[in-house]
Structure 1
């Protein structure tokens, strides 16, 4: 089985979006991965994003990571969050057409986690089958997030985050009516320096199909 992602472009609201797609035979699901803030060097090549892709790959998922508008070779310019949600929805539609019938998992890091959360809410309201939502170090102090109602949510927050205020994430988590799990990662910075293996150990079991053994 090839584990090499294929570079391609997908149709986005402002023009082509640069992406990397892994087409996994007999995939158990599909995973869409959203990168950090475009104005602060966030791209789909970010090491946390790349790690999320490998985690999903190793769990048997087909994957898609992509550059938001204005990043890399993606057309357009920064959309102040709203545009990036539209980009994620376009990417999700492409994945759904490419892999019909497979449930979608959304994963996002930093700014990308808020984009993923909002996109998941809109997809769920449109009747798209969602398996899970993972939000890593979400900057909820700076971006509003509307979450899906039924899709299981896992929030992963570094305890020594220097970019996102951990206490604000914890307070946001406590305020949610939606059942979810909050995973705190001790002695961990925003970019998960030295903690990527631990991140994989946290997420891999949670990527198993709901109800699967183990």
Structure 2
């Protein structure tokens, strides 16, 4: 799990990177929670998602947003952090030119950044959004959502109440054939303290289904 330093728009970006198990391995980008709320690339949720994709053979990168750890720069209300995410994804693709597709996985603030990346980068084939902060940020940019993914939320989340997440995410329009699955984790709060294991199970179960579809696409039927 080598340390990497990526040249970013605000200076260096500190990250941890594991290459894929094959030359044409897919890639996954992990995005941590809010920098002002103690979020960083080594929190339990970020580490767990990193390991989930690593064990499945992905080339996977987690990194610190600007101003966190050894990443240079200062917090920029999401605009700079979105640029950091795009830069990290560019770096991943430059090192994995044969990757067939990409996933983004984010926690809280990182989920918001990840879903913005999703709208800008057509190569992103799936997403994992844990505790998306639907009561803090506008999610109407998902119009329509271009890729299927999983939204995981704790029913004991007092920072972003479950009902608020349901209200927002249930209204998100999706392109034809796209499905956003919502998974509620009983007893879990916003940070998933003491509930990382059931969250991992939910993510693994979802990936078991989605990756089969991505790796074995149905042939297109053409009309004569």
The range that moved more, 25-34 or 46-55, is 25-34
1:11-90 alignment, distance < 5 Å: 11-26=7-22, 28-90=25-87
Equivalent residues of 2:25, 2:98 under 8 A apart? no
Cα root mean square deviation, aligned? 1.6
Runs (4+) off by over 3 Å: none
- Bigger CA radius of gyration: 2
Q: CA deviation at 1:171?
A: 0.2
Superposition TM-score, scaled by structure 1 size: 0.90
SS in 2 for 1:134: strand
Asked if 2 retains the 8 angstrom alpha-carbon contact of 1:56 and 1:204, the reply is no
Alignment check: 8 A CA contact 1:35 1:42 kept: yes
Other-structure match for 2:88: 91
Q: CA deviation at 1:210?
A: 4.2
Aligned partner of 1:115 in structure 2 is: 113
Deviation string for 1:12-49 (max 9, x for gaps)? 11111000001122164111000011111111011110
Partner of 1:133: 127
> Retained in 1: the 8 A contact 2:118–2:146?
no
The runs of 5 or more residues in structure 1 that have no matched partner are none
Please list the CA deviations of residues 59-87 of structure 1 after superposition, one character each: whole Å capped at 9, or x if unmatched.
22111000001111111100101111110
Deviation at 1:158, TM superposition (A): 0.5
Equivalent residue runs for 1:192-207 within 5 Å: 192-207=192-207
Q: Quote the offset at 1:119 in angstroms.
A: 1.2
Output the TM-score relative to the length of structure 2: 0.86
Q: Are the counterparts in 2 of residues 56 and 207 from structure 1 also a CA contact under 8 Å?
A: no
Which structure 2 residue ranges, 5 or more long, are not aligned? Answer: 217-224
- In structure 1, the residue matched to 2:162 is 166
Query: Per-residue displacement from partner, 1:150-192 (whole Å, max 9, x unpaired)?
Result: 2112110110012212111010111111231111111111121
Aligned counterpart, 1:106: 104
